[in-house]
Amino acid sequence: MDPSQVKIPPMKDLTVDNITENVIRINSLCEDARMKYVLERLVTHLHDFVRETRLSSDEWMTGLRFLTEVGQICTDVRQEFILLSDVLGLSILVDSIDHPKPAGSTDGTVLGPFHTHDAEEMRAGDAMSHDPSGEPLLVVCSLRDMHGRPIDNVKIDIWETDSSGHYDVQYPGREGPDGRCIMRSDRDGIFWFKAITPVPYPIPHDGPVGKLLKKLHRHPYRPSHMHFMFEKEGYDHLITALYLRNDPYETSDAVFGVKDSLTVDIGKAGPDIAQKYSVPEGHALLTYDFVLVSDAETSELRAKNSKIALDKLGRKVQIVNGLPVPELD
Amino acid sequence: MDPSQVKIPPMKDLTVDNITENVIRINSLCEDARMKYVLERLVTHLHDFVRETRLSSDEWMTGLRFLTEVGQICTDVRQEFILLSDVLGLSILVDSIDHPKPAGSTDGTVLGPFHTHDAEEMRAGDAMSHDPSGEPLLVVCSLRDMHGRPIDNVKIDIWETDSSGHYDVQYPGREGPDGRCIMRSDRDGIFWFKAITPVPYPIPHDGPVGKLLKKLHRHPYRPSHMHFMFEKEGYDHLITALYLRNDPYETSDAVFGVKDSLTVDIGKAGPDIAQKYSVPEGHALLTYDFVLVSDAETSELRAKNSKIALDKLGRKVQIVNGLPVPELD
């Protein structure tokens, strides 16, 4: 690049006190207002973090080495940066902001690092888990909108661990998906399938994130749960999970995902259910009524929340493409 | 880990408003006061960044993918996270805080990602660059303490690019170091060697950091410079560089490293110098007088600066092992 094309004021002799404004100024050559705003806040917070901690060169290098290790352990089936985001509470925070839920709708929670894109479509009643050691579980759910109307043909991704607490992708010899499936809701908004009762399990803790947790004396466990992801045009993408009540880790989830509204009891199939779904009486049963929010309702609530939160912070913003950027003077 | 050993208050139903305090609380199980403080500030700033930008799930995923790519491109001879830290102005900020310089001493600047640990020890007058296309340069420097006394036997790491603007480690077939050496100052504090005149060059921009710069319409160039690193027990580790005056990128360095006090003119060897160092008259010449600070002086200044800065921010701290931690109530 021709240096005569550099359209920023000269920068030299940058100090603890003027480096931040200069980095923001040079980044502001970018014409994408949203990216500019995100980077301005990122640079400000990273610099303030360094200034407030008086971060040492050794600590800085330790941090960069840690991030390098986090990146290097990632593979197609292991996403250690999601894990890091999860254990720092960032994932649940982003989900809460981007997918706000009006009262009466189903809460969202963390995606986690184990969703894949190769789950098979299954039909109502199919078994998604083939682990013979798992405790068989019948799952019967309904899906409605905020007005109580059934929603049909929603694509539902479901995934859970096997009875030893491992997802299929955690086995080196994995040849295909297991413990996961894609279902579609029927015209009554119902979907049902056979699974196994979820068990608590540690998030992968043989890598840098596990070492960090150990150093912090934090356990790596997640309480028993089953993941669900709902997708249909016109509805806000819902990533959620159901948690088992009274799990030993119910109130100390390593990734902060548990919500009371998503906590369920495992029941027993009575005679009617047993007959209708062809399981023995007394068979373990999980039921849940999910409520999806429309895109329009979510957008409105998201924009309203953004405006309120940023007003409170004294930041004047406008919402462009659904996301805040600073108001022009 | 036995869940009954979890010694934190129950956490559930975490929201935009209470997630931060809960993450800080669970991290506070760690008994290392400094690590606790660093993480508390990190979590606070990361969460505030997300809250202020209302970061979307898509942006979050884009960010995690970017960090993953940064980690994955790193090798023994390429450190993309240092590069990222450099272009965000973090590296120069950390150096300024950790290695404060009293008036009269030599300023520090960014280390950059190209220092290696395999440079050969050379003797006074040796040639550190073997690039036949480089413009030969005689470098004659002195090294003194804050009282003007010469410092002998300092280990000095020196490195620069070849005449095409590439460090040795950027060549795939690299068999050993070139354009780098280790010298020792003599009893008069003098060290001298033969090098080539530095040229401007782009930082590696074929990776994720280069793509980021491009998106921001920032050029990846660094002005012509030569790196120096000084090490001797009792003296604060000095990482610095000398920059050539009137370089086209002098005031827009991609990594914010240029300082006026480190900017030099290339001179010409007069008859005395030419004879003394066995070069032709008129040979390109770079001279500089470096001034090192003792560890004790640096520690004192660092602690004083920390105290002042944190008082200004309203944070009550005590200095433990040279670094601030919150004062106990």
Check pLDDT > 80 for residue B8.
Answer: no
Query: To the nearest whole angstrom, how far is the Cα of A73 from the nearest Cα of chain B?
Result: 8
Q: Do A93 and B16 touch (CB under 8 A)?
A: yes
On whether both B13 and B63 belong to a single domain, the answer is yes
Query: To the nearest whole angstrom, how far is the Cα of A239 from the nearest Cα of chain B?
Result: 11
Residue to mutate among B252, B261, B262, with most A CBs inside 10 A, is: B252
On whether both B70 and B87 belong to a single domain, the answer is no
From CA B63, how far away is CA A38, in angstroms rounded? Answer: 11
User: What pLDDT score does B4 carry?
Assistant: 61
Q: Do B93 and A47 touch (CB under 8 A)?
A: yes
Q: Residue B69: which domain range?
A: 3-76+315-326
Average pLDDT of the residues in B226-251: 97
Residues in B closer than 8 angstroms to A264, CB to CB, are: none
Query: To the nearest whole angstrom, how far is the Cα of B124 from the nearest Cα of chain A?
Result: 30
On whether both A139 and A181 belong to a single domain, the answer is yes
B26-68 residue pLDDT tens:
999 888 999 999 999 999 999 999 999 999 999 999 999 999 9
From CA B295, how far away is CA B318, in angstroms rounded? Answer: 20
B65-107 residue pLDDT tens:
999 999 999 998 889 999 999 999 999 999 999 999 999 999 9
Check pLDDT > 90 for residue A321.
Answer: no
From CA B279, how far away is CA A19, in angstroms rounded? Answer: 41
CB of B148 less than 8 A from some CB of A: no
Position A66 in a domain? no
On whether both A45 and A185 belong to a single domain, the answer is no
Per-residue tokens: A58: 């050794």
Residues in B closer than 8 angstroms to A324, CB to CB, are: 53-54
Nearest to A124 by CA among A187, A186, A198, A197: A186
A143-199 residue pLDDT tens:
999 999 999 999 999 999 999 999 999 998 888 899 999 999 999 999 999 999 999
Please name the residues in contact with B26: beta carbons below 8 A apart, sequence gap of 6 or more. Answer: A216, A218, A252, B8, B11
Mean pLDDT of chain B: 94
On whether both A143 and A258 belong to a single domain, the answer is yes
Residue to mutate among A43, A56, A229, A312, with most B CBs inside 10 A, is: A56
Query: To the nearest whole angstrom, how far is the Cα of B38 from the nearest Cα of chain A?
Result: 6
Angle at which helices B33-53 and A90-98 cross, to 10°: 20
Residue A215 maps to which CATH number? 2.60.130.10
Q: Which amino acid is at B158?
A: I
From CA A276, how far away is CA B49, in angstroms rounded? Answer: 51
Burial class (CB in 10 A: 0-12, 13-18, 19+), A121: exposed
From CA B151, how far away is CA A41, in angstroms rounded? Answer: 44
Q: Which amino acid is at B126?
A: D
Residue A317 — very low, low, confident or very high, per pLDDT cuts 50/70/90? confident
Out of B91, B215, B313, name the one closest to residue A30 (CB).
B215
Check pLDDT > 90 for residue A234.
Answer: yes
CB of A225 less than 8 A from some CB of B: no
Check pLDDT > 60 for residue A110.
Answer: yes
Position B300 in a domain? no
Nearest to A140 by CA among A247, A281, A280, A267: A267
From CA B210, how far away is CA B192, in angstroms rounded? Answer: 35
On whether both B136 and B257 belong to a single domain, the answer is yes
The single-letter DSSP state of residue B148 is S
Residue B226 — very low, low, confident or very high, per pLDDT cuts 50/70/90? very high
User: What pLDDT score does B153 carry?
Assistant: 98
Check pLDDT > 70 for residue B2.
Answer: no
Residue B3 — very low, low, confident or very high, per pLDDT cuts 50/70/90? low
Residue B319 — very low, low, confident or very high, per pLDDT cuts 50/70/90? confident
Q: Do B3 and A96 touch (CB under 8 A)?
A: no
Q: Is B261 helix (H, G, I), strand (E, B) or coil?
A: helix
From CA B112, how far away is CA B86, in angstroms rounded? Answer: 7
Tell me how many degrees the CA angle A61-B304-B300 measures, rounded to the nearest 5.
75
On whether both A225 and A138 belong to a single domain, the answer is yes
Scanning B54-117, the segments in alpha helix (DSSP H) are 57-72, 80-87, 90-98
Position A251 in a domain? yes
Position A75 in a domain? no
Please name the residues in contact with A62: beta carbons below 8 A apart, sequence gap of 6 or more. Answer: none
The single-letter DSSP state of residue B125 is T
Residue in chain A closest to B21 (alpha carbons) equals A89
B155 phi and psi angles, rounded to 5 deg: -80, 120
B175 phi and psi angles, rounded to 5 deg: -105, -20
Q: Is B317 helix (H, G, I), strand (E, B) or coil?
A: strand
B165-175 residue pLDDT tens:
999 999 988 88
Residues in A closer than 8 angstroms to B54, CB to CB, are: 97-98, 302, 305-306, 309-310, 323-324
From CA B207, how far away is CA B230, in angstroms rounded? Answer: 31
What value of ipTM does the predicted structure carry? 0.94
Position B301 in a domain? no
Residues paired with B263 in a beta bridge: B243
Position A70 in a domain? no
B294-317 residue pLDDT tens:
999 999 999 999 999 999 988 888
Nearest to B126 by CA among B11, B280, B243, B278: B278
The A225-231 sheet, strands edge to edge: A180-184, A155-159, A225-231, A238-244, A263-264
Per-residue tokens: B142: 């002195």
Number of domains in chain A: 3
On whether both A217 and A311 belong to a single domain, the answer is no
The rounded percent of chain A whose pLDDT value lies above 90 is 85
Q: What HEC string does chain A produce? A: CCHHHCCCCCCCCCCCCCHHHHHHHHHCCCCCHHHHHHHHHHHHHHHHHHHHHCCCHHHHHHHHHHHHHHHHCCECCECHHHHHHHHCCHHHHHHHHHCCCCCCCCCCCCCCCCCCCCCCECCCCCECCCCCCCCEEEEEEEEECCCCCECCCCEEEEECCCCCCCCHHHCCCCCCCCCEEEEECCCCCEEEEEEECCCCEECCCCCHHHHHHHHCCCCCEECCEEEEEEECCCECCEEEEEEECCCCCCCCCCCCCCCHHHEECCEECCHHHHHHCCCCCCCEEEEEEEECCEHHHHHHHHHHHHHHHHHHCCCCEEEECCEEEECCC
Burial class (CB in 10 A: 0-12, 13-18, 19+), A314: exposed
Residue holding tokens 């021709």? A2
Kind of pairing, strands A238-244 and A263-264? Answer: parallel
A53-97 residue pLDDT tens:
999 999 999 999 999 999 999 998 889 999 999 999 999 999 999
On whether both B236 and B95 belong to a single domain, the answer is yes
Position B299 in a domain? no
Residues paired with A323 in a beta bridge: A320
Check pLDDT > 60 for residue A1.
Answer: no
Residues in B closer than 8 angstroms to A15, CB to CB, are: 96
Position A154 in a domain? yes
User: What pLDDT score does B113 carry?
Assistant: 83
On whether both A281 and A309 belong to a single domain, the answer is no
Last residue of a domain, one of A9, A40, A55: A55
On whether both B199 and B217 belong to a single domain, the answer is yes
Residue in chain B closest to A38 (alpha carbons) equals B53
Enclosing H/E stretch for B290: strand B284-291
On whether both A154 and A286 belong to a single domain, the answer is yes
